[in-house]
Amino acid sequence: MDSSLAAWLVVAISIAAANLPFLSERVFGVIRLSPKPAAGATPSLRTKSLPLRLLELIVLYFVVGFLARMLESRIGGVFAQNWEFYAITGCLFLVLAFPGFVLRYLRKQRR
């Protein structure tokens, strides 16, 4: 695989993974939360809380990082990274998650 193709693949996967917690009510897009039964009400789908979404975002950051490291090792040698690399990529992952956050929490809901 070409190195520029691998880089763009990591960017595309990062965008999708960063927005997944905010665009889906399922954990990691797969696990459905059980509904909370209310007294005398019909059961509805349970929505994820913000802390659960942030935890999911952190886990997906490490999954994408592992995938990027695997692609880097297939291309050539893996470079050692210091804390600055992880701070920058973590902030970049948060920036990539901003569209999903806006759609979930800041957009006006029509009723």
Q: What percent of the chain has pLDDT over 70?
A: 87
pLDDT of residue 30: 78
- Of 49 and 19, the structure prediction assigns the larger pLDDT to 19
Q: What is the C-alpha to C-alpha distance for residues 4 and 58, in angstroms, rounded to an integer?
A: 26
pLDDT of residue 43: 54
Residue 84 predicted with pLDDT over 80: yes
Residue 16 predicted with pLDDT over 90: yes
Residue 53 predicted with pLDDT over 70: yes
DSSP per residue over 41-94, as a string? S---PPPPPHHHHHHHHHHHHHHHHHHHHHHHHHHSPPPP--HHHHHHHHHHHH
